[in-house]
Amino acid sequence: MSWNGAESLATAAAISVWFWELDSPAPMSELSSILSEEELARARRYRREIDRLRFLASRGGMRRILGDFLGVPPQDLRFDFGPFGKPYLAWPSDTSVRFNLAHSGSLAILAISEMGEVGVDVEWSRKAVNSSGLANRFFSPQEAAVLSHLPCEEQLNLFLRFWTCKEAVLKAIGVGLTLGLEKVVIPWLVEEPSGVLPPVYETGLWESFPKKVDLFLGAARGSFAKENGASLRQEWWIWEWRPSPEYFAAIACSHPWHHTQIRRWHPEGRG
C-alpha cells in the first residue's frame, strides 16, 4: 500500500503517524536491501539477535513509509544528522517534511509533519522501571513529589506519561536528553496526577487537542543554543495517546495541529 503525502495531510494542520510490530514476520532480506551501509553497520553492532532484527525492522519500516509518503524509492532516501543525532532528510531536500522515529519493546512509531519540527516517544508499560528513582534523578522536585504519593501502578502510568511527553519535546528540538528532562514541564500531569489515561487509538483520523508546554531554561537558553546550534523555541505542543493498552506515546510539534492520522503498517506486506 502506498500513500501520497499531500493526500495524507489533506486535513488542515494534521500529523501522520504509523506504528508497527517489530517482532512480526517480516521480509528481513527485503528490508535490509533498502538500508544504507551505515545502517547495516549499526545493525551488526548489536550483540543480541532480537535487538539486531528490531533495528532492521524499525529502520526498514521508516524508509518504506517515508519513501511511499514522498513518492521516491526507499533505498534512495539520504539522511543527515543534527548535532545530537536527530536525522533529517538530505535527499529529497526540497520538502517541508519532518519526521521522527521511536520504538520500545516490540513496537515502532513514525510521526511525519509538514508544519514544523516533530518528535515522538513510546514506552512499554510492562518493562521493569524504577519510576521513583528515575523521577528523583531526571524530573523536577515537584514532579517527583507528585509521583511519590501515588500507588505503584498509578505511579508507573504517570511516570511513563511524564517521560514520553518530555522526551517527545526534546526529540522534536533535536537534543535528546542532553537538555534535561526537568526543563520540560508538563503542567496538566502535575495538576491532575490521577487523571484519565490517554485513549487507545489504533487507526483512523482523530481530532486532536494538543496541549502547550513551555521550556524553562532561564539563563541557560542563550548559552545552550550558541554552543550546540539548537533551536530552542519557548512553546511546544503535545498530544498523548496509546497505540495499545500496554504502551504510552506522545507526539510533540512546534505548532498546534487539529487532527492526527494514525495507521498501522504491516512489515509483511498486508497493507
Q: How many domains does the chain have?
A: 1
Do the domain assignments include residue 1? no
Helical H runs in the chain? 5-8, 28-33, 37-44, 49-70, 131-138, 141-148, 152-173, 187-191, 220-228
Do the domain assignments include residue 127? yes
List Cβ<8 Å contacts ≥24 apart for 78-84.
78/36, 82/174, 82/229, 82/230, 83/174, 83/175, 83/228, 83/229, 83/230, 84/174, 84/175, 84/176, 84/178, 84/228, 84/230
Confidence of residue 269 (pLDDT cuts 50, 70, 90): low
CA–CA distance, 29 with 20 (Å, rounded to integer): 18
pLDDT value of position 29: 84
CATH code, domain with 245: 3.90.470.20
Dihedral sign for Cα atoms in the order 120, 2, 63, 12: negative
Higher per-residue pLDDT: 30 or 5: 30
pLDDT value of position 148: 94
Which pLDDT tens digit goes with each residue over 118-175? Answer: 999 999 998 888 999 999 999 999 999 999 999 988 999 999 999 999 999 999 998 8
Do the domain assignments include residue 82? yes
Nearest to 163 by CA among 125, 192, 106: 125
CA–CA distance, 254 with 266 (Å, rounded to integer): 29
Which pLDDT tens digit goes with each residue over 44-68? Answer: 999 999 999 999 999 999 999 999 9
Task: Let me know how long the chain is.
Answer: 271
Do the domain assignments include residue 6? no
For the beta carbon of residue 241, count every other beta carbon within 10 angstroms: 22
Distances in Å between the alpha carbon of 158 and those of 140, 152, 183, 232, 247?
14, 10, 18, 26, 12
Do the domain assignments include residue 4? no
Higher per-residue pLDDT: 267 or 107: 107
Q: Report the predicted TM-score, pTM, of the whole model to 2 decimal places.
A: 0.90
Q: Is the pLDDT of residue 9 over 60?
A: no
Confidence of residue 22 (pLDDT cuts 50, 70, 90): very high
Do the domain assignments include residue 5? no
pLDDT value of position 13: 60
DSSP string for residues in 93-120: -S---EEEEEEETTEEEEEEESSS-EEE
Higher per-residue pLDDT: 42 or 230: 42
Do the domain assignments include residue 3? no
User: Quick one: 12 exposed, middle or buried, by C-beta within 10 A (0-12, 13-18, 19+)?
Assistant: exposed
Which pLDDT tens digit goes with each residue over 193-235? Answer: 888 899 999 899 999 999 999 887 654 545 555 455 455 667 8
Q: Is the pLDDT of residue 76 over 90?
A: yes
Higher per-residue pLDDT: 178 or 233: 178
Residue numbers of the domain that contains 86: 12-264
pLDDT value of position 176: 79
Do the domain assignments include residue 57? yes
Q: For the chain, give percent helix, strand, coil, nearest 5.
A: 35, 25, 35
